[in-house]
Structure formats: C-alpha cells, structure tokens
C-alpha cells in the first residue's frame, strides 16, 4: 500500500462474516445544515443503537443515488442510517434514530425498505469510492479528521471549491471530496483556495490524500506534505526501504 512516496504495511487481516439480517431498512433524514447532520450522526454513534453504517451526502451527490431520488430536495443534505436485524429491533433502531435526528433539527425523515437499501448502497459505494466520478474529469480527495471537527472541513470546501461534491461517514470523520478537474488547471487554480481547505484539515487534526486526478494535473492540487502522518510514513519508508526501491 503506497501513495506519493509513502509506505504502509498490512501484517494480518481477519474478517468476521455474519449471515444476512432477516430485516434491513434505512432511515433517510434531510438537513439544511451539514453541521446539524454530523451532530446527529455522532449522537447516534454514541447511543446503544448500532446502525450498520451512516453516510452523509451534499445535495448534488444525493442526486447520484437513484434509490433516494424521492428523498432529495434542493439545498438539503441527506443523512442515511442503515440498520439490520430482527424486525422489532430494527423498528426500534429506526424510531430512536429518527428521534435523535429531529432533536438535531432535521427537516423530515423517511424509511427505505430492503430492496431500496441495497440499491442505494450500491450507488453510495460508487460515490464514496469514486467510481461515479471519471478520473479524467474529477480530482478526488480522501480526508480523515476528528468527527466533531468535520463540519469545519466541509464548510471550508464548500466556500473555497466551486462545484465540489461531498460524501462522508460523519461518525468516523471520513470525508470523500470530488472537485471538477478544471479546478486543477492554471486558470482553475486561481478560482479555488486550496490552502483554505488544508488549513481547515489541519485545524481538525486531520489528514488529506489526493486519491486520483487527471494525467498532467500536477502537484499544485496535492495536499501539503507537512502533515504529521506524512512525516511518520516517510520515516517508516526510510526504515523499511533505505535504498528507495
């Protein structure tokens, strides 16, 4: 595993497999303010509810999730909570999550059934992983930060990067940002403020990686290499690969 001169090692991987749950639903909550959605996700993660997954999508990204087309509204963010298990347990999960979301100021909620959940998650995997964004047309970033500080990064990206699309795992502090490739050109670089986002990432105790970009984009759009994680990875590489192989 390596990127931009860094080195990582996987010593062992253990996977625990479980049978498919008998009942699976998702709660979709609409928020005007992404910070309120992040707060709700953190509250859900702190409660004994245990959803399978929680994702957050800006209005443009939400339109790429076909199964949630009926839930999208202009200017509204979607928080999606995936739940599974026995029927009564899932019903309680959905009720508890809806209550927390309403306390955090969500505009409305609705429930998606099993078939809708699986179709939605296929699209969610593509927007988070980048398959929905052709590499020749988009610059992709993955950012990890403190969950409570992720609204700082989101606000900076929205203010500084025109056309950016954002998917997040808000309870984990994982953000996936996709920026139109035109921003990486000399002309585009004058219209965006990369440093503003990198400063927000630093303030959020975070780490940013450019995961893909069109050929010839250049290092101008890459995050600075001054982050502590980069310095640590460089030390690891020097220790395990002193010859620079």
Ramachandran region, residue 204 (left: φ > 0; alpha: ψ -120 to 50; beta: rest): alpha
Partners of 84 in the β-ladder:
24
**How many residues are present in the chain?**
245
pLDDT per residue of the chain (245 residues) written in tens, 0 to 9: 445 555 677 889 999 887 888 999 999 999 999 999 999 999 999 999 999 999 999 999 999 999 888 788 889 999 999 999 999 999 999 999 999 999 999 999 999 999 999 999 999 999 998 899 998 899 999 999 999 999 999 999 999 998 999 999 999 999 999 999 875 454 554 456 888 998 999 899 888 888 888 887 767 787 776 556 666 777 888 888 888 76
DSSP assignment of 151-196, as one string? HHHHHHHHHHSTT-EEEEETTTTEEEEEEEGGGGSHHHHHHS-HHH
Separation of alpha carbons 193 and 32, rounded Å = 24
Tokens of 88: 């009564």
């Amino acid at each position: 595993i390596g990127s931009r001169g860094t080195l990582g090692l996987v010593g062992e991987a253990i996977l625990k497999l479980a049978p498919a749950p008998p009942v699976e639903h998702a709660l979709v909550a609409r928020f005007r303010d992404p910070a309120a959605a992040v707060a709700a996700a953190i509250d859900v993660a702190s409660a004994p509810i245990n959803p399978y997954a929680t994702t957050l999508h800006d209005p443009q990204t939400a339109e790429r999730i076909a199964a949630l087309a009926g839930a999208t509204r202009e200017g509204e963010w979607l928080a999606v909570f995936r739940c599974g298990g026995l029927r009564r347990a899932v019903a309680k999960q959905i009720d508890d999550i809806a209550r927390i979301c309403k306390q955090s100021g969500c505009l409305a909620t609705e429930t998606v059934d099993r078939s809708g959940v699986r179709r939605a998650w296929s699209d969610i995997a593509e927007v988070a992983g980048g398959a929905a964004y052709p590499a020749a047309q988009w610059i992709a970033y993955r950012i990890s930060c403190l969950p409570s500080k992720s609204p700082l990064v989101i606000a900076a990206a929205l203010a500084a990067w025109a056309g950016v699309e954002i998917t997040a795992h808000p309870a984990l502090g994982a953000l996936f940002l996709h920026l139109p490739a035109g921003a990486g050109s000399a002309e585009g670089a004058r219209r965006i403020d990369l440093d503003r986002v990198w400063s927000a990432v630093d303030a959020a105790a975070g780490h940013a990686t450019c995961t893909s970009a069109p050929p010839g984009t250049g290092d101008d759009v890459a995050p600075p290499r001054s982050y502590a994680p980069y310095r640590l990875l460089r030390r690891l590489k020097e220790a395990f690969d002193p010859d620079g192989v």
